[in-house]
Chain A
Amino acid sequence: MALKELSSLEKFLGLKKPNKYSTQGDRKVPVLQSNSGPGLVGLVTIATHLTQEAKKPDLLGSSAEERAVVQQWLEYRVTRLDGCAKEDIRTILKDLNTYLEDKVYLAGNHISIADPLMYYGLHHIIMDLAVHEKEKYLNVTRWFDHMQHYPIVRHHLPPVAVLRNRVYTSGHH
């Protein structure tokens, strides 16, 4: 899973030459193999490194504050989202829905590395949501749909159907 994601990320970043990855430990933490010295360990470390490698520093945030927010979401992804308990999913979606109410992207006014990484991490969760739940977390759904319409983001993942017109109009916001 994480390895496919990293290869998608490479494409998103426009990196031509694929890197070699392996995993370590029970949680299958990704490792970027390097020819010289020890590899880079962990999704956040690797993603940050790849972005710098691709010379797209704006994707890490274009101001000090934005860079902090990007890092916050990368951290959120690995500490809160990955491997979260089933009962936590609703809380995560609820929080994210509130956060995205006044935002199109997770950090700043343009796409950053946080967006595709959160999209990859949330994909299996959104896939499993029922229609009325997608409506309940409307801002998450809108953001998710926007992400999956970036052809460079959605490489290895199937599209998720999103309804434009609400079915359960009496439901939540």
Chain B
Amino acid sequence: MAAGTLYTYPENWRAFKAQIAAQYSGAKLKVASTPPAFSFGQTNRTPAFLSNFPTGKVPAYQGDDGFCLTESNAIAYYLCSDALRGTSPQASAQVLQWVSFADADIVPSASAWVFPTLGIMQFNKQATEQAKEEMKRALAYLNQHLNTRTFLVGERVSLADITVACSLLWAYKQVLEPAFRQAYPNVNRWFVTCINQPQFKTVLGEVKLCEKMAQFDAKKFTDVQPKKDTPPKEKKGGKEGKKEKKEDKKKEEKKAAAPAAEEMDECEVALAAEPKTKDPYAHLPKSPFVMDEFKRKYSNEDTLTVALPHFWEHFDREGYSIWYGEYRFPKELTQTFMSCNLISGMFQRLDRLRKTAFASMILFGTNNNSTISGIWVFRGQDLAFPLSDDWQIDYESYAWRKLEVDSEECKTMVKEYFAWEGDFKHVGMPISQGKIFK
């Protein structure tokens, strides 16, 4: 019987699937959802966690035997008893059918409808109405199936019931008010029976069905939204302001057009919901160096003949600084793809730094003999990482040195790292891959 640890943030319905499956099968499952065992947003960004679970997403399962697994359905399946998986080929295929149904036909509409009521997604009337219609279709289908059946597959609770019930959990708690759900008596009967089984109850606690459909929580939404989603300030000088506005608008439109299709994973939602700190550079005077403009040049034009000359022509020595960072533990780097993940992971975690920074990081060498180093351009004269709690995950793994902007060394390094070509005399290994933070 499987025994291991499930990493998740608290009250995660995806994790519930695995937890309930373990209740039925008797698998010894420890749940790590609170500090010190696990703190969401920190533990799942540590190199140790990422080496087991490269995406950093939860729920993630690690067996006592070291066996690692991601994706909630796979984890739940692994923790199931044979009976839960379906004992005949037909039954187990039907279980899979319902697991897929939950993912494809319930989760998108449930999320699009419920998330705005929890204040973790912007409200869009059209999207909510569309989600309601999709939810009606899914419930009607379930209702018809459960007309003649007690449980979804066979005559006992299976992984199908666990999965589908969990995917409907938030909808039943938040929005499926009595007037709405009365059209689906068979689904209601089945759902209430499921959540009242002792194995469900141990995990879910007492589930209170929705009494009045929750509406969009505008206040909560503004409270938890990351800063970048708030409208740009009224007064913004010239081109820069305009461009940003346009971008924001585009973002809004995109969201409005296809919220169901690109509905946020709870993981991302929870990430977005993390409290945001203030602009750490608010105290600095405005800089003449326009980061976006340089990035455009870098992306669209030749590095050596256009982007670099532009960089040096406009670079603001007062407002910005240039740093060299080198990975401190090159001996621990093994497979190159893993090292690349290390870099992209770091970039991801520094997402909010993108506005004000630019970097080129390069992996040198080959499997089991490699090193990582890069050039970073930061706002201000200090290393940016300590300015925000969110940025401190990776930087201590690197040795940082501020470069003398006008020195020969700095000019060479900037040129070589930005262009991904040159001698790289200080490294002594050929380039494997480069990554740009912009």
Report if B193 contacts A (CB, 8 A): yes
Q: Which of B71-79, B143-151, B253-261 contacts A (4 or more CB under 8 A)?
A: B143-151
Cα distance, A145 to B156, chains bound together (Å): 12
Using an 8 Å CB-CB cutoff, how does the interface string of B137-171 with A read, 1 for contact, 0 for none? 00000000001111000111000000000000000
Residue from B148, B150, B154 within 8 A of A104 (CB atoms): B150
**In the complex, chain A residues whose CB is within 8 Å of the CB of B63:** none
Using an 8 Å CB-CB cutoff, how does the interface string of A132-143 with B read, 1 for contact, 0 for none? 000000100111
Q: Which of B11-19, B182-190, B296-304 contacts A (4 or more CB under 8 A)?
A: B182-190
Interface pair A142/B155, CB less than 8 Å apart: no
Interface pair A104/B190, CB less than 8 Å apart: yes
Report if A27 contacts B (CB, 8 A): no
Interface pair B189/A101, CB less than 8 Å apart: yes
**In the complex, chain A residues whose CB is within 8 Å of the CB of B155:** 145-146, 149-150
Distance in Å from the Cβ of A140 to the closest Cβ of chain B? Answer: 11
Cα distance, A171 to B18, chains bound together (Å): 41
Known: A138-B147, A138-B148, A146-B150. A102 touches B189 (CB 8 A): yes
Residues of A within 8 A of B (CB): 101-105, 108-110, 138, 141-143, 145-146, 149-150, 162-166
**In the complex, chain A residues whose CB is within 8 Å of the CB of B230:** none
Interface pair A109/B193, CB less than 8 Å apart: yes
**Tally of contact residues, B, Cβ under 8 A:** 16
Distance in Å from the Cβ of B403 to the closest Cβ of chain A? Answer: 68
Known: A101-B189, A146-B155, A149-B155. A110 touches B148 (CB 8 A): no
Cα distance, A103 to B196, chains bound together (Å): 12
Sorted from nearest, which 5 A-B pairs have the closest CB atoms? A109-B196, A149-B155, A146-B150, A104-B193, A102-B189
Known: A101-B185, A102-B188, A149-B155. A142 touches B149 (CB 8 A): yes
Interface pair B189/A109, CB less than 8 Å apart: no
Residue from A108, A142, A165 within 8 A of B150 (CB atoms): A142
Interface pair B185/A102, CB less than 8 Å apart: yes
Cα distance, A109 to B188, chains bound together (Å): 13
Cα distance, A158 to B148, chains bound together (Å): 20
Residues of B within 8 A of A (CB): 147-150, 154-156, 185, 188-190, 192-193, 196-198
**In the complex, chain A residues whose CB is within 8 Å of the CB of B149:** 142, 164
Chain A residue with minimal CB distance to B150? A146
Distance in Å from the Cβ of B20 to the closest Cβ of chain A? Answer: 15
Cα distance, A162 to B197, chains bound together (Å): 25
**In the complex, chain A residues whose CB is within 8 Å of the CB of B196:** 108-110
Distance in Å from the Cβ of A93 to the closest Cβ of chain B? Answer: 16
Given contacts A104-B150, A110-B197, 13 further A-B contacts (CB under 8 A): A102-B188, A103-B189, A104-B189, A104-B193, A108-B196, A109-B193, A110-B198, A138-B147, A142-B148, A142-B150, A143-B150, A149-B155, A165-B148
Cα distance, A110 to B189, chains bound together (Å): 12
Cα distance, A164 to B197, chains bound together (Å): 24
Cα distance, A145 to B148, chains bound together (Å): 9
Distance in Å from the Cβ of B147 to the closest Cβ of chain A? Answer: 6
**In the complex, chain B residues whose CB is within 8 Å of the CB of A141:** 148
**In the complex, chain B residues whose CB is within 8 Å of the CB of A108:** 196
Known: A102-B185, A145-B155. A109 touches B150 (CB 8 A): no
Cα distance, A110 to B196, chains bound together (Å): 8
A-B contacts, 25 of them at CB < 8 A, read A102-B188, A102-B192, A103-B189, A104-B150, A104-B189, A104-B193, A109-B193, A109-B196, A110-B197, A110-B198, A138-B148, A141-B148, A142-B147, A142-B148, A142-B149, A145-B148, A145-B150, A145-B155, A146-B150, A146-B155, A149-B154, A150-B155, A164-B148, A165-B148, A166-B148
Interface pair A109/B148, CB less than 8 Å apart: no
Distance in Å from the Cβ of A142 to the closest Cβ of chain B? Answer: 6
**In the complex, chain B residues whose CB is within 8 Å of the CB of A149:** 154-156
**In the complex, chain B residues whose CB is within 8 Å of the CB of A138:** 147-148
Chain B residue with minimal CB distance to A164? B148
**In the complex, chain B residues whose CB is within 8 Å of the CB of A142:** 147-150
Cα distance, A138 to B189, chains bound together (Å): 14
**In the complex, chain A residues whose CB is within 8 Å of the CB of B193:** 104-105, 109
Cα distance, A162 to B149, chains bound together (Å): 11
Chain A residue with minimal CB distance to B156? A149
Residue from B147, B156, B185, B197 within 8 A of A109 (CB atoms): B197
Distance in Å from the Cβ of B347 to the closest Cβ of chain A? Answer: 50
Distance in Å from the Cβ of B149 to the closest Cβ of chain A? Answer: 7
Distance in Å from the Cβ of A33 to the closest Cβ of chain B? Answer: 36
Cα distance, A142 to B196, chains bound together (Å): 19
Cα distance, A56 to B193, chains bound together (Å): 21
